[in-house]
Amino acid sequence: MNAKTRRLLEIFEEINRIPRCSKNEEAIACWFDAWARAKSFPSRRDRAGNLLITVPATPGREAAPAVVIQGHLDMVCEKTPASTHDFTRDPIRIIHDGDWIHADETTLGADNGVALALGLALAEDGSLIRPTLELLFTVDEETGLTGAKKLEPGFFRGRTLINLDSETEGVFTVGCAGGRDVTITRELRLASVPDEFRFTRLAVGGLYGGHSGIDIHRQRANALKLLARVLGDLPAGDDFRLVEIAGGTKRNAIPRDASARVACAVGRLTELRKRVAEAERTFRREYATERSLFFSFTQEDGLPHGRKAIAPEEARTMVDLLLALPHGAAQMSPDFSDLVMTSSNLAVTHTADSRLSVITSQRSLNVPALNAMSGTVRAIAALAGAQATTESEYPPWTPQLESPLLQRCREVYRGCYGKEPGVRAIHAGLECAIIGDLYPDMDMISLGPTTENAHSPNERLYVPSLSHVWDFLVALLQSLSQDR
């Protein structure tokens, strides 16, 4: 590992000491503000909390157009069920594993802490030849691109933007899917549970999960779908009552864990246990890559909700809704090999206070296809007697394959590595889509080091790729500094 890579990892580790879950970016923004003041770099924040730090050009390169280096301050905060990590207080603990780093049973935060580290390193290295840099770090990207949507006109002046939120080194991203969240709600009628019934908790966990855009085509199991299948296979009649259900944590993550509390006639407990065990065997065969998949069956002695459960016919409708809602890739792109065009993620479900709430997330590179998928979700909700509301909508970023910035990046990459880079669009949301919508004259590209399993505790970063991205950025900025 060279000195520059060590420095990048030092910066990243320092950033990871500061809690920065979505909507809790104040501490990390203040840390960057203090760093900028110490370096005498002008910094300011807009009303949404987005941060801009201006780094002067190398002497003699002031005439070159400013370049925006862009990333987001927040991270997805996910952990394993066994983890005691407190994301509001505890630093992320980084573990080195050969050429990779990951965290201790939590998300690593490389998405998008690595962009923050790269931006800071580019700014603090006085030996680089570079144009004026504008470090644009937005807030609340992970829960709906909120910061980018609220960028104020004129907040920055550069019209060349390098987004550092991509996850495969050597591949330039030039387009992304648009997205939309549809939240489904339904009131639930409750009914009394007979005194002789016993309460049990069924849980499914140990799944890979992952990013609901990048990983949606990988055929990973959805914990909510598996649990709904088990509940849907219970015999009809009055011997089983569904009390509550919960699963998933984030709109943009494939659910890894889900559980349901069930009231069951004493004489049917053994049968219920057998059905759960058989379901686990079935799902293990069906999802061979989900090596840690498990179902648990725990008897509970408490009397929750005053011995109330969801009325049987209401429970059947709720389970049918979860079974019917689409999840996974629905259509592949005709323009890019192995790229998903349209998908839907059954993301979060919970019942509380006689009310069901379901969060789904649709993505597409094509607006009519996005509308059609969201329409399917709303139609299924209507058939279940539920209400559907649309939230957190953002447009696609349409690829511009003749972009001058893309041509420059290709040229510089060939000069650095003697080979052609990859060029692709991705089935995920990037802030480039929002920024390009707000600033139509912006020339943009997205790149980054190789990371895997973002939005899950399995997230990891390939360290050699971080060094390669650094070398490329240094060469690219030197090239751009020659423009007038």
Contact call for residues 398 and 386 (beta carbons, < 8 A): no
Q: Is 357 exposed, middle or buried (0-12, 13-18, 19+ CB in 10 A)?
A: middle
d(CA 44, CA 53): 7
According to DSSP, residue 307 is labeled T
Catalytic residue, chosen from 111, 140, 141, 290, is: 141
d(CA 368, CA 408): 33
Catalytic status, residue 86: no
Of the candidates 160, 138, 164, which has an alpha carbon nearest to the alpha carbon of residue 20?
138
Catalytic status, residue 471: no
Contact call for residues 310 and 231 (beta carbons, < 8 A): no
Strand partners, 204: 258, 295
Tokens for 51? 């941060």
* Run of H or E residues at 28: helix 26-39
Catalytic residue, chosen from 25, 74, 215, 244, is: 74
Contact call for residues 257 and 236 (beta carbons, < 8 A): no
> Which ranges in 134-290 belong to alpha helices (H)?
146-149, 223-232, 269-286
Whether cis (ω within 30° of 0) applies to the bond prior to 16 is: no
Contact call for residues 429 and 177 (beta carbons, < 8 A): yes
Of the candidates 123, 471, 165, which has an alpha carbon nearest to the alpha carbon of residue 479?
471
Phi, psi of 24 (to 5 degrees): -135, 50
Contact call for residues 51 and 119 (beta carbons, < 8 A): no
- Taking the CB of residue 431, how many other CB atoms lie within 10 A of it? 27
For CA atoms 165, 170, 175, 176, the dihedral sign is negative
d(CA 274, CA 263): 16
Catalytic residues: 74, 141
